[in-house]
Structure 1
């Protein structure tokens, strides 16, 4: 049996489900295929920080402005898919005060609300904050619960006519006459699409290769450790150039320590190294000393979906996490004329990839890809996702039923989900 669809989205993380929702709301017939449960890749294995843009303010103005805009949109539409924590960028005695000043001025320029408080006020807000904290900058960071976010996007897509297939990995593509005419799915019927969107994240290069297209990714792994610590309100960010162990993200009775950045060859086969775990305790405890001896709830590694040409041009970690719509119908020599990225290899007319980015910007990534696809299909309907609330946004129990329905539970937010979802008694 073979099914037909206007658009096949390969990849069921936040961006893939966001694309499926966006296109379905425009009246497009969409099928989404994910090789595991939803949010089974990078989305559900992140430190789940809702960026204010402050982390990127001085280095990437465009990325910072995207973050604060999407931060505001998600607070409006996502409800219980996010946590309203706020955030602090903490300058310790060992940190360069000039870097703090540069970041603060950049936040003001980018429209990111920021307030400087002294060390005593910072410790009043976070009683266990290090005595070495000289001052802090208050910013509107938050927490994302990616299991709920991906599941709610998929639920709205489904309710508007999309087909959501979990445990259905893309295993092969047939290209004829410069177009993908069939995609083989494990665990489900094959699909004959009019257009294929590659939203496979870290695995996007492998999916592109099925169509004879070269898409160079540069995956990097990072460890996250959730420890029992009750009472932290804001996200804590070390105010220094991005490095290992510079973020602590609060949940209800736990905090997530993160993260490292180590390049890997294979996102499915890499070593989970103990030095990374030790570094998290050593570095994060410099901001919040009690976490050094906190009991571990769980730990996990995620792999970032970094686009190699962007990483090479920017110089690697700490600069930004920009995103790109890569048009596989375009000739790389025509990139300047088209305004879009292109990839070497066989040109495929009905195929595009979205790569890079951050969990915070998933919605605008989905919007830009959906705009691109809608233009290709001749669809004139506008994007609605910046105003339309996600289903169940005000009802955590309903959100968690979506998580269960789409097998979307993930280590990033396992402690936040209702017991029936993560298997507790």
Structure 2
């Protein structure tokens, strides 16, 4: 069996489905393949924080500006894929007061709404905050439900002609001259896909896909743990008012909170491992902000793998600086119809998709512009419909399992 298309997108996470949606809305014929169900690699194994950009101010102005822009767009188009909770950066007695002061000033300069609160004002919003809270800063963070988000993007792509093929692993590529002339896939197709252009959106596995075309993409997979615990009394996202570190985020859901996270380099994203010390560290550190979570009943635990780009990690030399995305045009590597999109974060998936789709459209001679920032996602106002999309694309994951109808609360 051979399928023919204009563009083949490899990878069905947020970025891959966002690319398929963007291109389909421009009238481009698209096939998307993923080796499993959608969102299974990284997207649905995140902590689910939709960044306002405050976390990256002042260290990375461009990254912070991108986050607040995309957070506003998703607030407009994504409906029940997101929850508008707001967020607090919480400063404890042993945190450097200059950190929050500099962050506030940078947010104001960038245009991210930020309000400094006294300890009493912060406790009015979150009564169970730790007794040694010195002050806090309110920002427009939110919560994203990635399984719904990915599935809604895929549904809109499919509604506009894209073919979304789950459980269809890429097994090899045929390169002739400077072009990929065929991609061998298994699963439900078990044949070949011939495309004018191939987009590698495989996240932490992007190096393996690129290698099939004899192209080197250096990835730096990095794992982090998330713990969902039983706690129903938190409204805003909590961020620790210090340089990023283990256990500095608490994300509210309806009847639980998600505690995160750690940062551990791994060799194989298919076998990232786990460690008990990560669980203990995250519990302990998150409880510094919100003491009741120290003894709260655990509901589920999962590890996610960040799709970091190795040259960027080497240049950054530290965890605290924003991780941007990188669009790699492999024409310079001798493969004219291949691009890889790597790095980034869930908050900026739509911008990553737009940049990639712009490149592909230019190569294909397509003049239609991106419209994804203004077009509401299908099912945005109907949570049950969104959850039906999740089921149809096998897109469920642990990050938002408690929110979705029929979600598996016990997934490890």
Q: TM-score range by the shorter chain?
A: over 0.9
Out of 396, 401, 405, the position equivalent to 1:414 is: 401
Question: Are 2:344 and 1:370 aligned?
Answer: no
Out of 255, 258, 265, the position equivalent to 1:256 is: 258
Alignment RMSD (CA, Å): 0.9
Aligned pair count reads 408
Change in CA separation of 1:72 and 1:191 when aligned onto 2, cut-off 3 Å: same
* Residue in structure 2 matched with residue 329 of structure 1 by the alignment: 331
Question: Are 2:356 and 1:354 aligned?
Answer: no
* Residue in structure 1 matched with residue 9 of structure 2 by the alignment: 9
CA positional deviation for 1:423: 8.5
* Residue in structure 2 matched with residue 394 of structure 1 by the alignment: 381
* Residue in structure 1 matched with residue 23 of structure 2 by the alignment: 23
Query: What is the rounded CA distance, in whole Å, between the counterparts of 2:256 and 2:409 in structure 1?
Result: 18
TM-score (norm 2): 0.98
SS in 1 for 2:171: strand
Return 264-273 or 157-166, whichever deviates more: 264-273
* Residue in structure 2 matched with residue 288 of structure 1 by the alignment: 290
* Residue in structure 1 matched with residue 115 of structure 2 by the alignment: 115
Query: What is the rounded CA distance, in whole Å, between the counterparts of 1:233 and 1:311 in structure 2?
Result: 34
Question: Are 2:143 and 1:143 aligned?
Answer: yes
In structure 1, the gaps of 5 or more residues are 331-345
**Segments of 4+ moved more than 6 angstroms:** none
SS in 2 for 1:285: helix
CA positional deviation for 1:246: 0.2
CA positional deviation for 1:231: 1.7
* Residue in structure 1 matched with residue 77 of structure 2 by the alignment: 77
Question: Are 2:128 and 1:128 aligned?
Answer: yes
SS in 2 for 1:298: strand
- After superposition, where does 1:373-384 map in structure 2 within 5 Å? 373-384=360-371
CA positional deviation for 1:315: 1.4
- After superposition, where does 1:171-210 map in structure 2 within 5 Å? 171-187=171-187, 188=189, 189-210=191-212
Query: What is the rounded CA distance, in whole Å, between the counterparts of 1:389 and 1:350 in structure 2?
Result: 31
Query: What is the rounded CA distance, in whole Å, between the counterparts of 1:113 and 1:242 in structure 2?
Result: 20
CA positional deviation for 1:128: 0.5
In structure 2, the gaps of 5 or more residues are none
- After superposition, where does 1:266-345 map in structure 2 within 5 Å? 266-330=268-332
Query: What is the rounded CA distance, in whole Å, between the counterparts of 1:412 and 1:316 in structure 2?
Result: 26
SS in 2 for 1:286: helix
Change in CA separation of 1:30 and 1:234 when aligned onto 2, cut-off 3 Å: same
Query: What is the rounded CA distance, in whole Å, between the counterparts of 2:254 and 2:34 in structure 1?
Result: 30
Q: Deviations over 1:111-142 (max 9, x none)?
A: 10000000011111101010111100000000
CA positional deviation for 1:190: 1.8
- After superposition, where does 1:160-179 map in structure 2 within 5 Å? 160-179=160-179
SS in 2 for 1:219: strand
Query: What is the rounded CA distance, in whole Å, between the counterparts of 1:171 and 1:273 in structure 2?
Result: 32
| 8 Å Cα contact 2:401/2:409 also seen in 1 | no
TM-score (norm 1): 0.95
CA positional deviation for 1:185: 1.1
Query: What is the rounded CA distance, in whole Å, between the counterparts of 1:423 and 1:294 in structure 2?
Result: 16
